[in-house]
Amino acid sequence: MKVAVIGAGPAGMTAGYELAKKIKEVDVYEAAPAVGGMAKTIELWNQKIDIGPHRFFSNDTRINELWLEVAGKDYEMVDRLTRIYYNKRFFHYPIKAFDALKNLGIFKAIGCVLSYGLEKLSPTKDTSTFEGWVTNRFGKKLYSIFFKTYTEKLWGIPCNVLDADFAAQRIKKFSLGEAMKAALFGNSGKHKTLVDQFAYPHGGTGMVYERMADFVRKQGGRVLLNTPIKRVLAKNNRAYAIELEDGTIMEYDHIVSSMPLSLMVTRLPEVPENIKKAAHSLKFRNTIIVYLNVQANNLFPDNWLYVHSADLKMGRLTNFRNWVPQIYGKEESTVCALEYWCYDEDEFWKWDDQKLIELGKEELKKTGLIGNAKISDGHVYRIPRCYPVYSTGYKEQLKPVEDYLSAIEHLHVIGRYGAFKYNNQDHSILMGILAAENILKGTKHNLWEINTDYESYQESSVITKTGLQKSN
**The total number of residues written for the chain in this structure:** 472
Averaged pLDDT score across all residues of the chain: 91
pLDDT at residue number 314: 97
Check pLDDT > 60 for residue 190: no
Task: Report which of residues 355 and 57 the model is more confident about.
Answer: 355
- Position 173 confidence tier, pLDDT thresholds 50, 70, 90: low
Check pLDDT > 80 for residue 452: no
In this predicted model, what pLDDT tens digit does every residue of 261-295 receive, in sequence order? 999 999 998 899 999 999 999 999 999 999 999 99
Classified as helix, coil or strand, 4 is strand
- Cα separation, 279 vs 56, whole angstroms: 30
- Cα separation, 446 vs 82, whole angstroms: 34
In this predicted model, what pLDDT tens digit does every residue of 58-75 receive, in sequence order? 989 999 999 999 999 999
Check pLDDT > 70 for residue 174: no
For residue 33, is the peptide bond before it cis, meaning its omega torsion is within 30 degrees of 0?
Answer: no
81 in Cβ contact with 88 (< 8 Å): no
pLDDT at residue number 102: 84
- Position 298 confidence tier, pLDDT thresholds 50, 70, 90: very high
In this predicted model, what pLDDT tens digit does every residue of 390-446 receive, in sequence order? 999 899 999 999 999 999 999 999 999 999 998 899 999 999 999 999 999 999 999
Check pLDDT > 90 for residue 297: yes
What is the per-residue DSSP string for 30-87?
-SSSSS-GGG-EEEETTEEEESS---B---BHHHHHHHHHHHTT-EEEEE--EEEEET
Check pLDDT > 50 for residue 457: no
Domains in the chain, CATH or no CATH each: 2-76+205-280+391-454 (3.50.50.60), 95-185 (no CATH), 284-388 (3.90.660.20)
Check pLDDT > 70 for residue 458: no
- Cα separation, 137 vs 2, whole angstroms: 50
Rg (CA), the chain: 22
pLDDT at residue number 172: 60
